[in-house]
Structure 1
Amino acid sequence: MAIITLKGNKIQTSGNLVEIGKKAPNFKLTATDLSTKTLEDFKGHKIILNIFPSIDTGTCAASVRNFNKEAANLKNTKVLCISRDLPFAQARFCGAEGLENVINLSDFGTGDFGKDYGLEILEGPLTNLHSRAIIIVDENGKVIYTEQVPEITEEPDYAKALKAVE
């Protein structure tokens, strides 16, 4: 289990990020049009998994905006923004912001994605939400980069993540 902090207070997640070099676990997530998306749907592309607790916080919104801006310049790469927010909230946010280069996916049902990827927060005010993390998967489904952001109120290291997909 990973230990992260929320405003300096230690909280625990359900596990550790998938190891680099390992196959990414499959997932079933809900898109903003209520369709189901799996890892297989993105095979043949590099995938940036931008994972966060809620689209309705400043830091999470900043990560979606930042990756939306960068995604337009990435070759053969899809950016998936994943949280436990309802698909309606994700669609509302991206519509209001005019964000069209990222794909929002929700783990609002069972939370299996968070459990399978070791990201579910187990205690504190964000219990059952996902910790802030970046996972990059290559065209064949293998994990090539991970970052578990140690302080949940901080943004990920965009430069390192983007370098991993070059």
Structure 2
Amino acid sequence: MVTGSTFIMLRLLNSIVFDIEQWAMNAVPDMIVCAWTMATIHLQDFRDIEGDYTTHAVTIPIILSPEGQVKLRKMTGHVLLSADAISILWIWMRAQHASAFITGLLFHMSSSILVFYTLKSCSRHQDRIMYRWWMATGFCLINHVFDLYLLEDVVVEAPPNKGGRS
């Protein structure tokens, strides 16, 4: 019942948003954040392998052998480095505000730290630190994508001169 009513409400909201020209939404930012999250979501599972064993939860780190976990970490590190390279391209092609460069720099810095912990983590404590950097990098990515795609039409104008002096 709740799922059906939620679906109907979302359909109504979608039809309203779709009919208003000023609210024409670009799906590219959502797809970028979704793709990054789907490619890196398993990093959160490394921090609590013992808890997953005790609750009999089936997660990717539990399914894989220790060698498979190392391969998964390396592959994810390469995905993160690729996302960094693509982000540099986005900044070059789309940045219209100085804030896009700042958020891009924050994304690159946090992503670099995340890659380091992804590839070099050898303890549960470092996995927990990696999880925190994964969350921070996701936050930086959302802000960065917002700057690149959603602020492109925003024009910042100087306030009018009230005193008459120039």
TM-score by length of structure 2 reads 0.26
Q: Which has the higher contact order (CA 8 A, sep 6+)?
A: 1
Structure having the larger proportion of residues in strand: 1
If you compute each CA radius of gyration, which structure gives the higher value, 1 or 2? Answer: 2
**TM-score with structure 1 setting the length:** 0.26
Higher helix share: 2
